[in-house]
């Protein structure tokens, strides 16, 4: 049986601001097993990063707060363990890489020193050993001439190389779980593919579970085993990757699929972005946050959050459109219809 690494249940995270309570994550649940990759996908502002930061307890303490849920890492609840234990978890169990490597790399410290410091902080290694490990890690993530590069500063690295260096630092502690938050968004397509390869190789080497956060379903198709689709801080649909691509049930997922670049279309037709704006998370309706943009909305949508409906093995959806009606609508993909006025 697969080894369960993480079980998140009913996670809700809010920001208590002067303008009001920002309901960034609303009752999100998912699991992660060893060697498994879950893709979390959704437009910008859907709560993906906040969900990840909640796990690592890295929210800005004021105004951010996890207000509900349990976050089980094995037998430990990440919501209730001490700050000391949490530091251990961050150093040994859950590593995170970000879209912008400069959020993790210190611009005025040599790359090797940064990685070595991360190692000696959490492992019983001498400075010398840690430096050697840094070189080895840089080589493993595909940095050419690692013995020389280790002595350089971040500004001497290209964007893709910095991303690799950050991955090297993240995996220096052999984490069980690697969270990659939009790791390729700022990079050009060739480098994107290389970084995805590095993440995949590292996962194979360390048998980690990977949480890959992205707004790009194309990246998900490359690497994820299962997908969670988020909108307005809610999970609107989740399932095995093939189910999400070939048997999606939520109109928002259809919208994401329709906005994927298509090879069979002319340049102008390629992208069909979902019309309308993301919801205001302070004045979020009690029901489905996608209601106002949904071409298939009905009376019950705005004020009532639909129960989870299991539509296939491990595939669940929250949507008021009756399932037989959905089957008919899906065939119109990828020509996502205009929202009704």
Ligand X SMILES: Nc1ncnc2c1ncn2[C@@H]1O[C@H](COP(=O)(O)OP(=O)(O)O)[C@@H](O)[C@H]1O
The binder of 22, among Mg ion, ligand X, none, by C-beta within 5 to 8 A per type, is ligand X
Question: Which of 157, 290 has the CB closer to ligand X?
Answer: 290
Q: How far is the CB of 66 from ligand X (least distance, A)?
A: 13
For residue 66, the surrounding DSSP H or E stretch is strand 64-73
The minimum distance between CB 341 and ligand X, in angstroms, equals: 26
Question: Is 50 among the residues that bind ligand X (CB under 6 A)?
Answer: yes
Kindly list the strands in the beta sheet with 309-312, ordered across the sheet, starting from the edge strand earlier in the chain. 94-97, 177-181, 209-214, 37-41, 226-231, 234-240, 315-317, 309-312
The residues facing 31 across adjacent strands are 7
Q: Is 46 in the site for ligand X (CB under 6 A)?
A: yes
Which position among 12, 37, 49, 203 is part of the footprint of ligand X (CB under 6 A)?
Answer: 49
Query: Binding residue for ligand X (CB under 6 A) from 281, 311, 317, 321?
Result: 281
Question: For ligand X, which residue of 42, 160, 239, 289 counts as binding (CB under 6 A)?
Answer: 42
Verify binding: residue 63, ligand X, rule CB under 6 A: yes
Instruction: Give alpha helix (H) positions in 207-302.
Output: 217-223, 241-246, 251-258
The option from ligand X, Mg ion, none interacting with 168 (CB < 5 to 8 A, set by class) reads none
Task: Count the helices and strands in the chain (H runs, E runs).
Answer: 11, 12
Q: At what angle do helices 111-122 and 83-92 cross, to 10 degrees?
A: 130
3-state helix, strand, coil in the chain (%, to 5): 35, 25, 40
Q: Does 62 bind ligand X (CB under 6 A)?
A: no
Residue nearest to ligand X as judged by C-beta position: 49
Query: Does 17 interact with ligand X (rule: CB under 6 A)?
Result: yes
Instruction: Establish if 48 lies at the interface with ligand X (CB under 6 A).
Output: yes
166: CB partners within 8 A, 6+ apart: 97, 98, 101, 104, 105
Give me the half-sphere count of Cα atoms (radius 13 Å) on the Cβ side of residue 125: 19
Query: Contact with ligand X (CB under 6 A): which of 8, 37, 47, 177?
Result: 47
* Interface contacts to ligand X, rule CB under 6 A: 15, 17, 22, 24, 42, 44-50, 60, 63-64, 281
């Amino acid at each position: 049986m697969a080894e369960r690494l993480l079980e998140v249940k009913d996670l809700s995270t809010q920001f208590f601001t002067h303008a009001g309570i920002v309901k960034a994550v609303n009752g999100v649940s998912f699991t992660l097993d060893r060697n498994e990759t879950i893709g979390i996908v959704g437009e910008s502002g859907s709560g993906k990063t906040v969900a990840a930061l909640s796990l690592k307890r890295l929210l800005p303490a004021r105004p951010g707060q996890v207000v509900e849920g349990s976050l089980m890492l094995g037998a430990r609840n990440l919501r209730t363990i001490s700050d000391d234990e949490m530091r251990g978890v961050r150093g040994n169990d859950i590593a995170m890489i970000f879209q912008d490597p400069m959020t993790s790399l210190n611009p005025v410290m040599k790359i090797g020193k940064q990685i070595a410091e991360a190692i000696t902080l959490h492992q019983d290694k001498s400075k010398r050993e840690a430096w050697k490990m840094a070189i080895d890690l840089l080589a493993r993530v595909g940095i050419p001439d690692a013995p020389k590069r280790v002595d350089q500063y971040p500004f001497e690295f290209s964007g893709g190389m910095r991303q690799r260096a950050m991955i090297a630092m993240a995996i220096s502690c052999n984490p069980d779980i690697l969270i990659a938050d939009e790791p390729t968004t700022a990079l050009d397509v060739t480098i994107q593919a290389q970084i995805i390869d590095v993440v995949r190789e590292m996962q194979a080497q360390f048998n980690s579970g990977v949480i890959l956060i992205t707004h790009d379903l194309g990246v998900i198709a490359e690497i994820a085993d299962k997908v969670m689709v988020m909108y307005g801080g809610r999970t609107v649909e989740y399932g095995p990757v093939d189910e999400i691509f070939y048997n999606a049930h939520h109109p928002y997922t259809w919208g994401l699929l329709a906005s994927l670049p298509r090879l069979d279309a002319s340049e102008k037709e390629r992208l069909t972005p979902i019309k309308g704006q993301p919801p205001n998370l302070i004045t979020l309706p009690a029901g489905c946050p996608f209601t106002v943009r949904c071409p298939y909305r009905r009376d019950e949508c705005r004020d009532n959050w639909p129960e989870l409906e299991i539509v296939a093995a491990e595939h669940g959806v929250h949507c008021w459109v009756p399932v037989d009606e959905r089957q008919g609508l899906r065939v119109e993909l990828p020509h996502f219809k205009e929202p009704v006025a």
